[in-house]
Amino acid sequence: MRHTFACPLRWADMDALGHVNNVVYVDYLREARLALTTAPGRVLALEIDYEAPLVFRPEPVLVESRIDGDGVLVQEIADRQEDGGRTVYAKARTTFVRDSVVPRVRPDPALAAHVPVTVRARDLGSDGDVDEVATLELFQESRIVFLQGLVARQEPRVVRRTAVTYLRPYGRGAAAYAVHHGIGRVGRSSFEIRAELVDDGAEGTDGPVVVASSRTVIVAVDAQSRRPRPRT
């Protein structure tokens, strides 16, 4: 059964390009998930493909959700046209924790660029842990710093795809957090950023431990048409 949730937009949801920020899409997905009659549980992994830009307007956007045969939550952020057509802005798949095992993953030494991040009180969910939307925002904040140090000229680019794995709960505490970055696959008009959110002093561990990891595909676009273009 498909569940449809009408999610209102806010002016603060927009980014510097006048589109809904890529992290805010995940907030819309969460709002729709919480509106479901049955809560699937804690999020383990999220994959989201950004299909089209969404701009501010007074009308809400629709979030359509269904749970497939494997227990994965499949969602689309979309508009319906009067002629029966649809405009899809994002597609997502959310996987949930099936057991209580918390893995201990050490940081990948190949991700050599480290950007410190700070957890704020607003990042915490009702359980006192940083929620999945705030985690994605920490990845975004650190990615901007990483890219500023990587390229000499800031050229137009957009996020095309993000995949995040939430390995273990983490909170505000006194621990030091940093996001470790590195470059993955490189294509003609796109490249991938690999990242790990690391707790440098996780309680009960004997060293740094990864609390979440992500892979983000960045696409270079033309400033006027907003279409993909070859990287310089």
pLDDT of residue 93: 96
Query: Is residue 195 within 8 Å of residue 111, measured between CB atoms?
Result: yes
Give the pLDDT score at 172: 75
Model confidence at 90: pLDDT above 90: yes
Q: Give the residues across from 75 on adjacent strands.
A: 65, 92
Residue 18: count of CB within 10 angstroms of its CB: 9
Question: 145: exposed, middle or buried (C-beta count within 10 Å: 0-12, 13-18, 19+)?
Answer: middle
Distances (CA, A) of 184 to 120, 125, 153, 172, 215: 29, 31, 20, 30, 8
Strand-pairing partners, residue 182, are 194
pLDDT in tens, 116-172: 999 988 888 878 889 999 999 999 999 999 988 776 566 777 888 999 999 988 887
The pLDDT confidence band at residue 205, using thresholds 50, 70 and 90, is low
* All structural domains of the chain with their residue ranges: 2-97, 113-220
Pick 113-220's CATH classification: 3.40.50.10800, 3.10.129.10, 3.40.1410.10, 3.40.50.150: 3.10.129.10
Distance CA 211, CA 209 (A): 6
Intrachain domains 2-97 and 113-220 with the same fold: yes
Tokens of 82: 């009067």
Average pLDDT, the chain: 87
What tens digit of pLDDT does each residue of 21-43 get? 999 999 999 999 988 866 667 88
| Positive/negative CA dihedral, 107, 108, 114, 119 | negative
| Average pLDDT of the segment spanning 192-216 | 86
Range with the largest mean pLDDT of 64-68, 150-154, 195-199, 202-206? 195-199
DSSP characters for 111-155?
--EEEEE---GGGB-TTSSB-HHHHHHHHHHHHHHHHHHH-SS--
Given a cut of 80, is residue 175 above it in pLDDT? no
Q: What is the pLDDT of residue 150?
A: 74
Percent of the chain with pLDDT over 90: 50
**Which token pair is 2?**
């498909």
What is the reported pLDDT for 153?
64
Nearest one of 165, 169, 170, 172 to 122, comparing CA atoms: 172
CA-to-CA distance for 182 and 228, rounded, in angstroms? 22
| pLDDT at site 5 | 94
The answer to whether 56 touches 9, Cβ cutoff 8 Å, is yes
Residue with tokens 């050490």: 106
Residue 97 in 3-state DSSP?
Answer: coil
Domain 2-97's class?
Answer: alpha beta
Other C-beta atoms lying within 10 Å of the C-beta of residue 69? 5
